[in-house]
Copies of this chain bind each other. A is one copy, B any other.
Amino acid sequence: MTTIREIRLKSRPVGLPTADNFELASVELPAPGPGEVQVRNTWMTVDPYMRGRMNDVKSYTPPFALGKAMEGGAIGEVVASNDPSLKVGDLVQSMFGWREGFTAPASSVTKLETHGLPPQAFLGVAGMPGLTAYAGLLRIAALKPGDVVFVSGGAGAVGSMVCQIAKLKGHKVIASAGGAEKVAFLKELGVDEAIDYKAEADLTAALQRAAPEGVDVYFENVGGDHLEAAITVANPFARFALCGMISQYNATTPPVGPRNIILAVGKSLRLEGFIVSNHWDMMSDFAKDLAGWHAAGKLKWKETVKEGIERAPEAFLGLFAGENFGKMLVKL
C-alpha cells in the first residue's frame, strides 16, 4: 500500500472560491490489479474552466462531486504495472490530477512521448491550452491572410499561444493583459501592440488606437469590457472565437452583457463559442506544427509553478487574481 494526498472539493464556492472550499486528505492506493497501473504524478494543471465544474449545474462537463478528489490534467510516472502496455518508468498523461498518485486501468492513461519538450509542456503549450489556441484561431475564427488579430488575456496559457501562432502566420497582433510585467511579456512574444487593461480607463479607445484599421479576428478569454471593445472596433465580417470569459466565472449576479451587440447585425459579425474537446481531431496537425515551430526555436512560453499538492488550491485561486504568467502548474 502507498499513501498519497489529494485535494477534495469540500464545499461549492459562491462567487470567488476560497481556500475553505478545498480540503487535503490522505488515501491509501491499492496495488494495481490485472490491467491496472499505479502512477506517481509529477505535474498537475489548474485551469479556469475548472471553476465551472465546482458549480452543481449541468454544463459540458459534469460537476465535481463533493468530498471527492477533483479531476484535471496530470503528468506522472508509472511506479507499478500489471499491464503489458506500460512499464515502470513510463511517462503518462491522465485526467487524474489534484492528487499525488493513483491506481487505475492502463487504458485510462496515455503514454507520453515528449519529442524533446519538457513533460509539463503537455499541460500547456503542447497540450489542451495550445490546442485551444490553435483550434480557436484556425477553425472557429477561420483566420485568413491579412486579418488583424486581437486577443484578450494574451499573457495566459491560451492567450500567449494565440499571440505566437498569429505572429508566426504573419498577422498584426494586438493583445491585452493586466499590468506592466505582463505587457513586457507580450512584447517578448512579439505582439505589435500590447494593451495594459488595468492602466486604461477606456478600453475601446485603447483598442481603437492600437488597431486604427479595425479588428478582423477577436480571441475572447476575458469578457465584459473586452467584448464590448472588440465589437465596437470590429471590421465588417469579423469573426470572434469565444474561448472563455474569466472576468465572469465568479459572478454572483448577472454581469453586464455587451450593450453594443446590435452592431453585430450591420457589421455581419460572427461570434462563436467553442470548447477544445470538440476539436481533438486537429491534434495531429497541431502537434506537427508545434514540433516545427519548436525545432526552429520560434516558441516561447512561461510557467508559473507552485510546489506541493497542498498548494494546488492556491494555484487555482491565483488564476482569478491574474497571478500566472503563461501556464499555472503545480509540481508534485
- Contact residues of A with B, CB < 8 Å? 52, 59-60, 223, 227-228, 236, 242-245, 248, 254-275, 278
For the complex, give the distance between the alpha carbons of A60 and B266 in Å: 6
For the complex, give the distance between the alpha carbons of A259 and B248 in Å: 10
Contact B271 A271, beta carbon cutoff 8 Å: yes
**B residues near A52, Cβ cutoff 8 Å:** 266
Given A256-B259, A261-B257, does the pair A60, B275 have CB atoms closer than 8 Å?
no
Contact A270 B268, beta carbon cutoff 8 Å: no
**B residues near A260, Cβ cutoff 8 Å:** 254, 257
**B residues near A261, Cβ cutoff 8 Å:** 223, 227, 245, 257-258, 261
Contact A242 B264, beta carbon cutoff 8 Å: yes
For the complex, give the distance between the alpha carbons of A267 and B273 in Å: 7
For the complex, give the distance between the alpha carbons of A256 and B255 in Å: 10
A188 to chain B, nearest CB (A): 28
**B residues near A273, Cβ cutoff 8 Å:** 263-270
Contact of A271 among B254, B264, B275 (CB under 8 A): B264
- Describe A's contact surface by its main secondary structure: loop
Contact B271 A244, beta carbon cutoff 8 Å: no
Copies of this chain: 2
**B residues near A245, Cβ cutoff 8 Å:** 261-262, 265
Contact B270 A275, beta carbon cutoff 8 Å: no
For the complex, give the distance between the alpha carbons of A273 and B240 in Å: 12
**B residues near A255, Cβ cutoff 8 Å:** 259, 262
**B residues near A59, Cβ cutoff 8 Å:** 266
Task: Tell me the nearest residue of chain B to A254, going by C-beta.
Answer: B259
A52 to chain B, nearest CB (A): 7
Question: Can you list 27 A-B contacts with CB-CB less than 8 angstroms, sorted by A residue number?
Answer: A52-B266, A60-B236, A60-B266, A223-B261, A244-B265, A245-B262, A245-B265, A248-B262, A254-B259, A254-B260, A255-B262, A256-B256, A257-B258, A257-B259, A257-B261, A261-B261, A264-B272, A264-B273, A265-B273, A265-B274, A268-B275, A268-B278, A269-B272, A269-B273, A270-B270, A270-B271, A272-B272
For the complex, give the distance between the alpha carbons of A272 and B268 in Å: 7
Given A269-B273, A270-B271, A271-B271, does the pair A262, B60 have CB atoms closer than 8 Å?
no
Contact of A274 among B243, B268, B271 (CB under 8 A): B268
Given A60-B236, A256-B257, A257-B259, does the pair A275, B264 have CB atoms closer than 8 Å?
no
Residue with the highest number of chain B CB atoms closer than 10 Å, among A52, A228, A258, A273: A273
A142 to chain B, nearest CB (A): 12
A203 to chain B, nearest CB (A): 15
Residue with the highest number of chain B CB atoms closer than 10 Å, among A223, A243, A261, A272: A261
Given A242-B264, A248-B262, A257-B258, does the pair A272, B271 have CB atoms closer than 8 Å?
yes
Residue with the highest number of chain B CB atoms closer than 10 Å, among A223, A227, A266, A274: A266
